[in-house]
Amino acid sequence: MQIDVLTLFPEIFQGPFSVGIFRRAVERNLVRLNIHNIRDYTDDKHHTVDDYSYGGGGGMVLKPEPIFEAVAAVTSTIKEAKVPVILLTPQGRLFNQQLAGELAAYPHLVLICGRYEGVAERVREHLASDEISIGDYVLGGGDLAAMVVIDVVVRLLPGVIGSAAATEEDSHTAGLLEYPQYTRPEVYRGWRVPKVLLSGNHAQIAQWRREQSILRTLKRRPELLGKASLSSVERRLVDEAGSSVDSA
């Protein structure tokens, strides 16, 4: 997958993507990340990227011209007919794992990061194919939102996460919170590891973990259980525990 990002702050994309899983994915040519400075696509002496809002009030608005020019420059090098051009904006479709899955199916993405008080409406109307928000809180700009989207999408690309087992486990536990995890020592400051985990009985361990996941989800994020795929036995566990959620 190739990802092109248009931003006013290219520097902030350097850190997170030069380490760990993402870096390895780049080295193995599973993903290519190109960061473009919107300011490079201005043609006036002062490289102006923003302007006042028609009608007055509010703050500055990102001008349409540099963003249109930048997208044209990027897409002119791409052969696919339909490249999603995604505007990160608080007004967008709420990002989640499902939307990440949809984006991961494209060979190419273009992400536009806004700043200031907003992006010219004509970018929204006539350039962006999609608008995405990462949650109901106010960020300083779209850059961190784009980085979140990239992080989540790239993990879904084939071969990026090492083992098929990990991805399979993810789908098995989809929609549930994680079970408690323990490592050595067996007793730390008097806190013991649950006995079942030391038993060596893998079927029993799997069952305990599954149950912990379900009960923890019920207690902390009950709304997730609607979409999770549970067996009829597990549904009954939820219904029984649900009437006394404190026990979870």
Interaction site with ligand 9D3 (CB under 6 A)? 88-90, 114, 117-118, 133-135, 137-139, 141-142, 145
Q: Is 170 among the catalytic positions?
A: yes
* Residue positions counted in the chain: 248
**Vertex 74: Cα angle to 73 and 76 (nearest 5):** 70
Q: Please state the closest distance from residue 51 (CB atom) to ligand 9D3, in A.
A: 16
Q: In this complex, which beta carbon is closest to ligand 9D3, that of residue 152 or of residue 218?
A: 152
Q: Give the three-class secondary structure for 32.
A: strand
Q: CA–CA separation, 176 vs 213, rounded Å?
A: 6
What is the distance between the terminal CA atoms of the chain, rounded to a whole angstrom? 42
Q: In this complex, which beta carbon is closest to ligand 9D3, that of residue 37 or of residue 89?
A: 89
Q: Which amino acid is present at 205?
A: I
Q: In this complex, which beta carbon is closest to ligand 9D3, that of residue 146 or of residue 215?
A: 146
Which tokens hold the place of 223? 């709304």
Q: Is 51 among the catalytic positions?
A: no
Q: In this complex, which beta carbon is closest to ligand 9D3, that of residue 88 or of residue 156?
A: 88
Map tokens 């549904």 to a residue.
Answer: 235
Q: Is 222 among the catalytic positions?
A: no
Q: CA–CA separation, 70 vs 66, rounded Å?
A: 6
Q: Please state the closest distance from residue 241 (CB atom) to ligand 9D3, in A.
A: 34
Q: Is 117 among the catalytic positions?
A: yes
Q: Please state the closest distance from residue 178 (CB atom) to ligand 9D3, in A.
A: 25
Residue of 51, 84, 90, 234 with catalytic role: 90
Residues annotated as catalytic are 90, 117, 155, 170
